[in-house]
Amino acid sequence: MYLTVQETAEYLSMDEKKVSVFVLQGRIRAIHDGEQYLINQEQFTTHFEQVEKYRLMIDEYLSVPIPEDIDVKDED
C-alpha cells in the first residue's frame, strides 16, 4: 500500500518535513508520480519488527533479578 508523505508522517509519528527530507536524502524509498511522492508502507515492517524484538530483549534483561554478591558481609 502506498502512502503520501503526510500519511507516512502520521504512520511513523514524525514531522512531515522530516519525512520529506528523508525521502529526498534517499533514506526512505519513494516514487514520484509527477505531483507527489508515494511511499510503500511495507518498507517499514522490518524496522518495526526489529524494534519490537529489541524491546522484548530489554524487558527480558531487566526482569532478571540481580544475584547476591558473595563478598557482602553482614555487619550486625
Please answer whether residues 8 and 40 qualify as being in contact, where contact means their C-beta atoms are separated by less than 8 angstroms.
no
Query: In terms of residue numbers, what domain contains 59?
Result: 2-63
Q: Would residue 59 count as lying in a domain?
A: yes
Q: Would residue 46 count as lying in a domain?
A: yes
Tell me: pLDDT of 30 over 80. Answer: yes
Q: In whole angstroms, what is the distance from residue 73 CA to residue 37 CA?
A: 66
What average pLDDT score do residues 43-58 get? 92
As beta bridge partners, residue 40 has 2
Q: Would residue 71 count as lying in a domain?
A: no
Q: Would residue 68 count as lying in a domain?
A: no
Q: How many distinct structural domains can be found in the chain?
A: 1
Q: What is residue 74's predicted lDDT score, i.e. its pLDDT? A: 67
pLDDT, the chain, mean: 90
